[in-house]
Amino acid sequence: MRGGGLLVAGTTSDAGKSVVTAGICRWLVRQGVKVAPFKGQNMSLNSFVTREGAEIGRAQAMQAQAARVEPTALMNPVLLKPGGDRSSQVVLMGKPVGEMSARGYHGGRQQTLFEPVLACLEELRATHDAVICEGAGSPAEINLRRTDIVNMGIARAARLPVVVVGDIDRGGVFAQFFGTTALLAPEDQELIAGYLVNKFRGDVTLLEPGLDMLHGLTGRRTFGVLPYAHGLGIDEEDGLRVSLRGTVRESVVAPPLGADVLRVAVCAVPLMSNFTDVDALAAEPGVIVRFVDRPEELADADLVVVPGTRGTVKALAWLRERGLADALARRAAEGRPVLGICGGFQVLGEHIEDEVESRAGAVEALGLLPVRVRFAREKTLARPVGEGLGERVEGYEIHHGVADVRGGEPFLDGCRVGAVWGTHWHGSLESDGFRRAFLREVAAAAGRAFVPAPDTSFGTLREEQLDRLGDLIEEHADTDALLRLVEEGAPKGLPFVPPGAP
């Protein structure tokens, strides 16, 4: 097999396309298939930096890990990073190329990107046995079909069979499957091979009559019913659900080694990005992570994290409006731990000069760290390696802000003053030795008898999660039929479901 492919579409956003794509990738690679993930256009504030210095969606980096291949810009050629309700930064082949309104993007720019997107897919297909593509939103967004480069547009151009995933936990999944198919043009319907039910709870035999009726109405089969599984939303594109945090919250967790737990409060700042940074904290036995937006919620926290954000100045104003800025200042004065990451690091500094992101000019920050930040037009995209708290650390950087550190103790690329730490490095807490050393520092400053587990491996936990996704596909999907789709394409003679696209 060489150059096979499949598009995993969804009836809605958050139907489970990302995790199903990852699960299929992990199942295929376990069968000895050389597989790669692909998403032509992704909209997300959670991103990752590849080894060649390209920015792509974290979901595609996670899917690459599921496929056991190195992530590259080919896997996510277009990334849109929202900067507000109506505009996004456009990242093409891993590099930002400007800001654009939704109207401007869908009105013309998107179509100019179709050929580069298709070229990336074809390059992956030429070097892999199979490419598992993820769609975006729903393929039946009839107002956007003309300019589509991620759903049926790419499927039709590359002749990819399409499996539509529906989240039955939300209800209405049969209507979603039927309506999605019936709103597509005949040429698009030819590629809709069938359906995959996701997040089912209960006795599957009770569902089977509905699946039979759906087959009778559409002429298309259902390739599997995946059960609801807790804690599998790894590296979500959006939302506040954190993968391993979900596992900690929803399953039986080992008790803390010491007498105390550690409570971590994450400020849910506007345009929060790469909130997956706290996954590694939540993976530790005895560490409780929650997202907060009120100052009183910081009172019992042993550590407060101010995470990354696509809108540093907006986040700073939000912290002040909510009273969280004063609460952070009180914590710093009392020697209670605060960690700022990327945009969160910037708001903890003294001064911000921003003519790029917000164009607000000179803005006074919270003054908790001796740092002055100037926003550069060129984005820093890097994969730094260094040492922190006596331990080896790996991370990645995605920011326009350039920090001028004028004091404090060195902390990765940033600094520390008392119990306030700041760094631009995302992902540093995934380094197990460093994370344990940091938590020991936090526990000491917070006066907690907390002891980090000596054997928690974040990398191992992530691999276990990906294997669970592969197991879901292997155990609950018709893998023989899926493999035929990948190798041979959509079945011939699939019936048209009226009325079709208007």
Known catalytic residues?
Answer: 342, 426
**Per-residue 3-state assignment (H helix, E strand, C coil) for 85-128:** CCEEEEEECCEEEEEEEHHHHHHHHHHHCHHHHHHHHHHHHHHC
Beta bridge mates, 417: 420
Half-sphere exposure of 189 (CA within 13 A, CB side): 22
CA separation, residue 133 to residues 44, 92, 145, 196, 401 (Å): 17, 18, 18, 15, 33
Q: What is the 3-state secondary structure (H, E, C) of 24-62?
A: HHHHHHHCCCCEEEECCEEECCCEEECCCCCEEEHHHHH
Residue corresponding to tokens 């199903």:
20
Q: What is the 3-state secondary structure (H, E, C) of 385-425?
A: EEEECCEEEECEEEEEEEEEECCCEEECCEEEECCEEEECC
Contact yes or no for 308/268 (Cβ under 8 A):
no
Query: Could you tell me where the DSSP H helices lie in 273-311?
Result: 279-282
User: Is 151:140 a contact under the CB 8 Å cutoff?
Assistant: no
Write the CA distances from 349 to 54, 268, 341, 378, integer angstroms.
27, 19, 12, 21
Residue appearing with tokens 């956007």: 144
Task: Say if residue 230 is exposed, middle or buried (CB neighbours under 10 Å; 0-12, 13-18, 19+).
Answer: exposed
Tell me which residue of 101, 104, 95 sits closest to 76, measured CA to CA: 95
Distance CA 17, CA 23 (A): 10
Q: What is the dihedral of CA 428, 433, 437, 438, to 10 degrees?
A: 20
Angstrom CA distances, 495 to 53, 147, 180, 181, 216, stand at: 46, 25, 14, 11, 10
Q: Specify which residues 247 forms β-bridges with.
A: none
- H or E segment to which residue 361 belongs: strand 361-364
